[in-house]
Structure 1
Amino acid sequence: MIEVSAVFVSLAVVTVFISAVLLSSAGAKSLRTRHITEQMTTLGVPPSMMTFLIGAQIAGAAGVIAGLRWGPVGIAAAVGLTLYFTGATALHLRVGDRRGALPAVVLTMTSVALIVLSAATL
């Protein structure tokens, strides 16, 4: 019987959570709903960056999922997500959107947790 550590189970749960959030957000961005386009305009994100942001979110989700099998890939993806969400936090705070910054802060901390959990499973 294969023994699964509590750390790996925690890693898997956090991975599923952040992947679901990333894919949901990428889907919303790809639909370019009024809410999303207004938010991006307020943050000063040009429409030409939307494809990049969608790709980064999908790549991040794929990377952390792949990291469940190969830890270094998961760590690299989690570092990228930490930078992504730190940037998102900064953009929200720059325009005074503290309410919008909160989810970005939570996702930044979640990405850091992924780095720690992934490193602990190596």
Structure 2
Amino acid sequence: MRITALILSVLLAAAMLQSGAMKFVRPAWILKFSQAVHITTAQLTALGSLQIAATIGLVWGIWFPPFALAAAIGLVLYFVGAIVAHIRAGDRNILGATVFLALSIATSVVLVLDIAR
């Protein structure tokens, strides 16, 4: 189980690092998505910061698994919120958030099972 937890944690960390960095770089496609959900640039920076913080927690969790678990659970909440925000704004472009939510849930479950052993 430890190898699966490690692989999922690293995969989720890489995805969050990329996604969080894009919120700071702000290419046109990110701005388009954020405008569709009525997110300001300050909020975009805060959301990117949360994703970078989760990345740090997931990487640190390689040595201290409870940190990875906390980061993964935080990301579950983050992406549930993202999906709700998209739906409330009438934006049906939720595929990315749904994939990240599924990855966050899978990582959380495997980490719980790994820590419980």
TM-score, normalised via structure 2 length: 0.89
Partner in structure 2 of residue 101 of structure 1: 94
What is the CA–CA distance in structure 1 between the aligned matches of 2:19 and 2:33, rounded to whole Å? 13
- CA-to-aligned-CA distance 1:16-60 (integer Å, 9 cap, x gap): 211111111122111111211121011111111122111101111
Q: Which has the higher contact order (CA 8 A, sep 6+)?
A: 2
Percent identity reads: 31
Unaligned runs of 5+ in 2: none
TM-score, normalised via structure 1 length: 0.86
Which among 20, 24, 27 is matched to residue 21 of structure 2? 27
Q: How does 1:85-96 map to 2 (within 5 A)?
A: 85-96=79-90
Partner in structure 1 of residue 32 of structure 2: 38
Unaligned runs of 5+ in 1: 1-6
**Larger radius of gyration, structure 1 or 2?**
1
Which among 110, 113, 116 is matched to residue 106 of structure 2? 113
The count of aligned residue pairs is 115
